[in-house]
């Protein structure tokens, strides 16, 4: 599975496709981390651990803050 091109192209080293990362950040931004995994499951029919959403959202947030400076 790690050889899949979407995993190889994944940003921030999470091994999660860019599209799924985008959904995670959207859900993490718009809902509390404890419930946003349910939103992701509704979007993709794939279960996601809230700690994964927190990690991706936090990493993207830090990256965007770095770009602002």
For residue 45, being part of any structural domain is answered with yes
Q: What is the pLDDT of residues 46-55, one digit of tens each?
A: 888 888 888 8
- What's the pLDDT at 8? 52
pTM score, two decimals?
Answer: 0.55
Distance of CA 16 to the CA centre of its chain: 7
For residue 25, being part of any structural domain is answered with yes
Q: What is the mean pLDDT of the chain?
A: 75
For residue 4, being part of any structural domain is answered with no
- What's the pLDDT at 13? 63
For residue 60, being part of any structural domain is answered with yes
Count of domains observed in the chain: 1
For residue 57, being part of any structural domain is answered with yes
| DSSP structure string for the chain | -TTSHHHHT-GGGSSS-HHHHHHHHHHHHHS-HHHHHHHHHHHHS----HHHHHHHHHHHHHHHHHHH-
For residue 1, being part of any structural domain is answered with no
For residue 12, being part of any structural domain is answered with no
* Domain that residue 47 falls in: 19-64
Integer angstrom CA distances of residue 34 from 10, 11, 42, 51: 24, 23, 15, 9
């Amino acid at each position: 599975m790690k050889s899949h091109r979407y995993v190889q192209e994944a940003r921030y080293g999470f091994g999660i496709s860019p599209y799924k990362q985008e959904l995670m950040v959207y859900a993490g931004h718009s809902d509390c981390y404890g419930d946003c995994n349910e939103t992701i499951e509704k979007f993709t029919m794939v279960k996601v651990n809230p700690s994964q959403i927190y990690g991706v959202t936090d990493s993207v947030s830090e990256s965007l803050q770095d770009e602002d400076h």
